[in-house]
Amino acid sequence: MTDRVLILGGRGRIGSSVAQDIVTHTQAKITLTGRTPESGITDPRFSFLVLDLADIDQLREAIASCDLVIHCAGPFHYRDANVLKICIEQGVNYIDVSDHRSFTSKALNYYDAAVTAGVTAIVNTGIFPGISNSMVRQGVEKFDVPEKIHLSYLVSGSGGAGITVMRTTFLGLQRPFDAWIDGKWQLVKPYSQRETINFPPPYYHTGVYWFDMPETFTLPLTFPEVKTVITKFGSVPDFYNHLTWIAAHVFPKWLMKQRNTIEFLAHVSHFMTDITNRFSGIGVAVRSEITGQKDGQTAVYCSSLVHENTAIAAGYGTGSIAQLLLEGKLNKPGVWTVEQALTTDLFKQTMESRGVQIHHNWL
């Protein structure tokens, strides 16, 4: 029988990249959803369903008719975990591209229910979070005692993603967040403490700032021996970093908590990146640096990845996990983050099959 995959938000940039990866690497038939009709689908392996996530009866019916649900309908700051809940009720495996700790926390609360139902649910897939988590796991496994994780992310222009990603960026500036530093939770201001990171070409030395990501709290839970987890994000061209810093530190806090403000900033930013994409590109870079004890000495292990299209790279991250679930190579009932669910061997296999090169070196 042909596997059936339902991609919620499948018409967006990330959702469509996930869909393309799945049809490239599996024989599954895919149903894409959106809130308005779609007439441009010509590939017979794709179908389209008009679906509003608020219509619970229709959502339940759509989930019941498939083998795997992939939730790409962000921003996840505003989402509850109802899609996951229905998947568990229907016995259907689940993946999402969520990127905010509030949603991740809600999803992880369904762990016991997923185990009982025999449902494998994996959250935070994509490029960051997602591939970045697996890069960290691969590095942590090199050490006798890992002590510090430093993750840096960089996106050129829009990253080839839609306006939802812009919304996510500004939503992440609304309030301070807890970070695991020196063995205790400490409050950190978003887009603070600029640090220059040496990324691989073509980015080289570029500034990054504290940014609230799910990894900020899931990595300390997954690797409890680690005493510090740093997650920092930056943009190219660099003037976007300065504009984002102003939004985080100069704009009144009450203003940044207004949905209309977020919408305005997201649309203006998307318009600007449409122009700058022409010379900045739409690529992504991820750098994972692990410090710890190996053979009785302090050592540092660095992994780095660069891809020319952020949205396509996100599709690789989510699509590869979908492939493993559909092929039965990943069967782990419960609700998991990527670094908890995916072994390094499986991660390396799926990245190699997609031509993704991750460079490693001891510093």
The two three-digit tokens of residue 346, written as one number: 């499986």
CATH number at 4-126+311-356 = 3.40.50.720
The C-alpha atoms of residue 353 and residue 158 are separated, in whole angstroms, by 26
Q: What is the pLDDT, as a whole number, of residue 8?
A: 96
pLDDT at 36: 85
Distance of CA 3 to the CA centre of its chain: 24
Q: Spell out a b/e string for 10-39, using b for 16 or more CB atoms within 10 Å of the CB, else e.
A: bbbbbbbbbbbbbbebbebbbbbbbeeeee
Burial of 253 (0-12, 13-18, 19+ CB in 10 A): exposed
- CA 302, CA 148: separation in Å to the nearest integer? 12
Residue 195 pairs in a beta bridge with 208
What pLDDT score does 282 carry? 93
pLDDT at 104: 96
What is the predicted pLDDT for the residue at 160? 77
**pLDDT score for 129:** 95
Q: What is the pLDDT of residue 134?
A: 98
Residue 325: per-residue pLDDT: 98
**CATH level 2 (architecture), domain 128-310:** 2-Layer Sandwich (3.30)
Rounded CA-CA distance 170/262 in Å is 6
Dihedral (Cα; 86, 21, 138, 155), 10-degree rounding: -100
Q: Which residues of 144-172 are buried (b: 16+ CB within 10 A; e: fewer)?
A: eebbbbbbbbbbbbbbbbbbbbbbbbbbb
The alpha carbon of 84 is separated from its chain's Cα centroid by a whole number of angstroms, namely: 17
User: Residue 164's pLDDT is what?
Assistant: 75
Task: Give residue 240's Cα distance to chain centre.
Answer: 21
pTM, rounded to two decimals: 0.94
Alpha-carbon distance of 93 to 122, in angstroms, equals 9
Whole-number pLDDT of residue 39: 64
Per-residue pLDDT of the chain (363 residues; tens, 9 = 90+): 789 999 999 988 899 999 999 999 999 999 999 888 876 777 888 999 999 999 999 999 999 999 999 999 988 988 899 999 999 999 999 999 999 999 999 999 999 999 999 999 999 999 999 999 999 999 999 999 999 999 999 999 888 777 777 888 888 898 999 999 999 999 999 999 999 999 999 999 999 999 999 999 999 999 999 999 999 999 999 999 999 999 999 999 899 989 899 999 989 998 898 898 998 999 999 999 999 999 999 999 999 999 999 999 999 999 999 999 999 999 999 999 999 999 999 999 999 999 999 999 999
Domain layout of the chain by residue ranges: 4-126+311-356, 128-310
Q: Where are the beta strands (DSSP E) in 129-223?
A: 145-156, 177-181, 184-188, 195-198, 205-210
Cβ neighbours for 110, distance < 8 A, ≥ 6 positions apart: 81, 84, 85, 88, 121, 335
